[in-house]
Amino acid sequence: MLDSAPAAVASYPLPQPLLTINPAGDAALQRGSLEATHLLKHLFRSFDGHLALRLWNGKILSLGQGAPVDAAHAFMLICHTPQIVRAIVLGRDRLRLAEAYFRGDIDIEGSFFAALRLKDHLNSICLSSLDRLRAVFKALRLHAATRSRKNNTPGSSSLHARVVKRHSKTENQGAIQFHYDVSNVFYALWLDKAMVYSCAYFEQPDDTLEQAQQAKLEHICRKLLLKSGDHFLDIGCGWGALIIYATQHYGVRAHGITLSQRQLDMARHRIAQAGIEDRVSVELCDYRDLPGQDAYDKIASIGMFEHVGLKNLPAYFAKVIHLLKPGGLFLNHGITHDVEGWEKTSSTEFINRYVFPDGQLDTISNIQRGMERAGLEIADVESLRAHYALTLRHWVARLEQTHEQALEHVSEPTWRIWRLYMAACALEFESGEIGIYQVLASKRVRSPTALPLTRRYLYPAVA
């Protein structure tokens, strides 16, 4: 199923490096090349794959024990500066190579997805004390050979998000604005026409992204048994795709909330264009500030609860219970982790530093336990892990195809962050490190549930 997703663009043209070095006639850089060659061969001597690497002077190294792979999975790592090789050994920041890619000090030619699998080897490098001492010595010699060369590339600190510690309203709003208030046009380049920024639903592996996202909207509406006259709330409504679809196709009265001003502006514009302002509304609002009790028949939260913070999940589910009518339905759609809690790793640190400052994930079992403790009765749990892997591969392919247009709205480092983030997430969904679930629940009442006895209502073709 996953093999049918769009392949990475093997012929992706390399952008001009953000740092350029002319090595012609530079003896220091030539000495640095020799030191780097010895150091890299030492670090990759146990690598069971194959890595082609081009140094700043044009020299190509063949590293690892494996044979060269087929063209579809081949790639070359290009180091534009000696500092990158030294940073592998001496750098303390686990994300130093990612930042080097953002700055343009490293480029990847060929299969981007295959190149990202190097992370597993880099994380597994374990040198003896003697070997590490030798590696450090070589790295220092490399530094000595090239220290006259200054890296004039600006740092990536401006790309860092502010640290979120308490998931307060101010912190959460800042985090959402950091992520979503980049540029509506930038998102439109690689999302579907409805701009649904969450996992699509592929009824067939070769469905287009547009087909899969429309199928997802329909799937959500069917799960919630939406019907004419229902008062429907979407917590984290994005650019308004779900509330617009539910209003137009199911006749509900819908309300959406977001913390992104740019999303709010576009959602309101789309609602006005559709001529449904009398039945659907959207506002800039934190979920904690939503007024009313027993106000909504149905509530959806699509790709939002990951921002809540694990400590705040009880309050979040309690708020849902407060807003939902007795017996009302709630659909929680979100990403989960394969281990409990949100421990600090290179992956979690990357997400919080560059993409989702307030993002925290937990296991599906802990999420369900929190929902039940709040008073929600779980009716259905569906894994969409394979669907999100497909979705992300579509997004990455579109992002690569629109590289030049994207640079009219975001910087090259920002574009690279999104490319790396989404490609890495696709691989993590494929490996099972992260998952995604739709959990359908109802506000518990002491009477028979209003849900159908079977799931046939979700799939009318087989009814």
Residues with a known catalytic role: 425
Amino acid in position 304:
M
Please give the backbone phi and psi of residue 89, each rounded to the nearest 5 degrees, phi first: -95, -45
Task: List the one residue out of 342, 384, 334 whose CA is nearest residue 361.
Answer: 342
Q: Helix, strand, or coil here: 106? A: strand
In a 10 Å sphere around its CB, with 0-12 CB exposed, 13-18 middle and 19+ buried, how is residue 390 labelled?
Answer: buried
Q: Helix, strand, or coil here: 297? A: strand
CA distance 398 to 315: 38
Side-chain-side CA neighbours of residue 408 (13 Å): 9
Instruction: Give the position of tokens 């934190």.
Output: 286
CA distance 367 to 363: 6
Amino acid in position 35:
E
For residue 256, what are the β-bridge partners?
Answer: 234, 282
CA distance 38 to 135: 9
Which two tokens mark 457?
Answer: 């209502």
In a 10 Å sphere around its CB, with 0-12 CB exposed, 13-18 middle and 19+ buried, how is residue 215 labelled?
Answer: middle
Please give the backbone phi and psi of residue 439, each rounded to the nearest 5 degrees, phi first: -110, 115
The number of angstroms, rounded, from the C-alpha of 109 to the middle of its chain's C-alpha atoms is: 22
CA distance 5 to 262: 31
Query: In terms of residues, how long is the chain?
Result: 463
Handedness of CA 103, 106, 108, 112 (dihedral sign): negative
Number of C-beta neighbours around residue 126 at 10 A: 8
